[in-house]
Structure 1
């Protein structure tokens, strides 16, 4: 999908009828055949990549959310019936079918992607999970036991290493999802949740937890850079920041930016491993 030049001119590619159905969602049910057809057609646009839940506006560097897309996803729970499916020993009982459009995608046995998610040609899905509304761009690997939560937006040439948890953000419709930008490397067992964002070419060390409320701190200066946003071309790891309470002094989680990279250094894994090892950190 082509990203609009500016959010000021952004118009959802989904039909306006989605908003009309949203306003009377309390009365909808699987018996509403016309409403069901409209919602299925809308979510099909997400499934093929013709629409997406969110994108980074290149003019403002802000995350723009297509609320209509989120409304369409939420309305599926109103208009779709539970159905059963079985393949061999595997059994499914759900309202959401599995994704079937994988043009140019390598899908390793054990990988699961739900209808309404998009995986671009050139992506690799190891045994992993991609939820509805998720967008995985070309050249990205979703490694073993990694999860891409509902509506999460994953850029080009990203590596989500083993066990990475990218959180889902579905409600409310205007809430920003997790965004992992082009060229980022998220090492094993990281948790990126609550609409947090990792910038282009950045590296997040193993086991780091990043949420929208966790401070991101420059380890060289002690300056708080942001809440929940690792800037472009950084090496970041999990840390703690001490805070005094009535009951004593305790360490609260933070994310430390160890080093700023030059553009293009993000894929020199040997150099990145050296940076992490120099700080006594795991490189897996």
Structure 2
């Protein structure tokens, strides 16, 4: 964690974490502190992680993540309903949607922040996630617990953005501003999609995925889609005692100009040249 960073959440969260095994819903004072901290996440006044503009590193607010995990200790199971649909859970549904378009069938849990201008098609946004202004969470897409999604991002139909809770210091998935994730793309295990990157349909990116530049053959940092690039899932032959096998990797097909606007038709044409759709 960056030394200059100071969590906006109360230090009492750290004290409660040290005695978390003893906490129950009967500890009302602890519950009030924890609920207050998660309310700050829900309102966007705190967040699980962010990209430090000076170091370009992902900074994790361990106290924020601890507040989420502690809530499972102090909140009891409760029944709630939306129309004919019933829930029985410790974590209630989100109620703050100022400036957010929520299409019927969309679900967001309390503790997730949705900035004004977000559009939720029938989708699922989990506990502790952050979704920036102008972002579209398309049909059947999922934003996992604590995942960080930037501004003006398009998560296409069926996209899976993975979640992470434990350990507290673990970095969540980060999707930076202006990114595009094609249909059924999966980004998990703390992987990072940098600003302006476009991922073709069905792309798989994990923290250990090897990344290669198609033009130069250069190997790039693992688990990251480079900024302002067009990427797809590919296979790279690797030799084992039992033979040669194609291992999945991320292939950078093209570098875009920084700030280049996303042209869906141009992107589709580019990907189709390589047998992939957006």
Asked whether the two chains share a fold, i.e. TM above 0.5, the reply is: yes
1:23 aligns with 2:32: no
How far does residue 266 in structure 1 lie from its aligned partner after superposition? 4.1
Q: 3-state DSSP class of the match of 1:227?
A: coil
8 Å contact from structure 1 (residues 184, 266) kept in 2: no
Which contiguous aligned blocks of 4+ residues in structure 1 show a shift greater than 6 angstroms?
A: none
The aligned runs of 1:175-190 (5 Å cut-off) are 175-190=170-185
Q: Which residue of 2 aligns with 1:119?
A: 114
CA–CA distance in structure 2, aligned partners of residues 24 and 202 of structure 1: 42
How far does residue 23 in structure 1 lie from its aligned partner after superposition? 0.4
Q: Of the candidates 41, 47, 67, which is equivalent to residue 42 of structure 2?
A: 47
8 Å contact from structure 1 (residues 122, 138) kept in 2: yes
Q: Of the candidates 227, 239, 246, which is equivalent to residue 234 of structure 2?
A: 239
Question: Structure 1: 5+ residue runs without aligned partners?
Answer: 1-5
8 Å contact from structure 1 (residues 233, 266) kept in 2: no
Question: Structure 2: 5+ residue runs without aligned partners?
Answer: none
Q: Which residue of 2 aligns with 1:3?
A: none
CA–CA distance in structure 1, aligned partners of residues 221 and 265 of structure 2: 28
Q: 3-state DSSP class of the match of 1:19?
A: helix
CA–CA distance in structure 2, aligned partners of residues 46 and 281 of structure 1: 38
1:227 aligns with 2:222: yes
Deviations 1:234-276 (A, max 9, x none): 0000001111112111111100000000012241222222211
CA–CA distance in structure 2, aligned partners of residues 205 and 281 of structure 1: 7
Q: Which residue of 1 aligns with 2:73?
A: 78
CA–CA distance in structure 1, aligned partners of residues 208 and 252 of structure 2: 16
How far does residue 74 in structure 1 lie from its aligned partner after superposition? 0.3
- Number of paired residues? 278
Q: Of the candidates 267, 272, 280, which is equivalent to residue 267 of structure 2?
A: 272
How far does residue 8 in structure 1 lie from its aligned partner after superposition? 3.5
1:130 aligns with 2:125: yes
Q: 3-state DSSP class of the match of 2:65?
A: helix
How far does residue 282 in structure 1 lie from its aligned partner after superposition? 1.6
How far does residue 86 in structure 1 lie from its aligned partner after superposition? 2.0
TM-score normalised by L of structure 2: 0.98
1:37 aligns with 2:32: yes
